[in-house]
Amino acid sequence: MNKIFPNAHSALHDVLKDNMTIAVGGFGLCGIPEALIEAVRQLGVKGLTAISNNAGVDGKGLGTLLETRQVKKMISSYVGENKEFERQFLAGELELEFTPQGTLAEKLRAGGCGIPAFFTRTGVGTVVADGKETREFDGETYLMERSLTADVSLVKAWKADKAGNLVYRYTSRNFNPNVAMASKMTVAEVEEIVENGSLHPDEIHTPGIFVRRLVLNAQPEKTIEKVVTRQEVRS
């Protein structure tokens, strides 16, 4: 099975549809599948529910899909520095399901493992618990959280072999391994594709069984959200 596609557009054009749920890796702009996100924008699918830690920034990452009104709902833990995200939410134009960051990671991991729900103390006694089941364990109240799965997952890795085994680099790993597990159609954007057998088994973070399609983006932009110089820090 050849998992390698010539570009992001060809990897997504026959799987994306209106009103789908997509899960997207990254934290801020670190480790985002920028070419795949741009392909989603160009394909013009609407009514998307996006599961991601945040929505990039204005004009970058998932922020571009907010600007084109392709996203109807965000499931995330952080609005961050995206003013359009904030504006749409406060204006009632965007649905938002706020989820604590660790809970979001576990909801995706659990979804990938076939676990329908789990209990956590995080969010007990807050608005996060509204409408959710609670139980007592050892004298403590726990909140039941349902797992998350997506129709399509978009992830960014540093390197892959032709079988789809993925290696992430440093902090760009972030949510990507969990996102990769949470869908039966995971598309990975990578900076290098090597021959099968080239990766040591201990290097591999996401086994290729989770990855259906690969796209090479050898020179990603890797935008930094905010550059702070030493001089600015001193002042």
User: Amino acid identity, residue 134?
Assistant: T
Is there a contact between 85 and 109 (Cβ–Cβ < 8 Å)? no
Each residue's pLDDT, cut to its tens digit, for the chain (235 residues) gives 899 999 999 999 999 999 999 999 999 999 999 999 999 999 999 999 999 999 999 999 999 999 999 999 999 998 877 899 999 999 999 999 999 999 999 999 999 999 999 999 999 999 999 999 999 999 999 999 999 999 999 999 999 999 999 999 999 999 999 999 999 999 999 999 999 999 999 999 999 999 999 999 999 988 877 777 777 656 5
pLDDT at 233: 58
**Phi–psi pair at 127, nearest 5 degrees:** -65, -20
Q: What is the pLDDT of residue 15?
A: 97
> Could you give the 3-state DSSP secondary structure of residue 230?
helix
According to CATH, what is the number of the domain 4-120+147-216? 3.40.1080.10
> Is 106 strand, coil or helix?
helix
**DSSP letter string, 29-64:** TBT--HHHHHHHHHHT--SEEEESS---BTTBTTHH
Q: Where are the domains of the chain?
A: 4-120+147-216
Q: Residue 201 is encoded by which pair of tokens?
A: 């088994």
pLDDT tens profile 5-35? 999 999 999 999 999 999 999 999 999 999 9
What's the one-letter identity of residue 75? Answer: I
pLDDT of 224: 77
| DSSP helix/strand/coil, 194 | strand
Is this prediction's pTM over 0.85?
yes
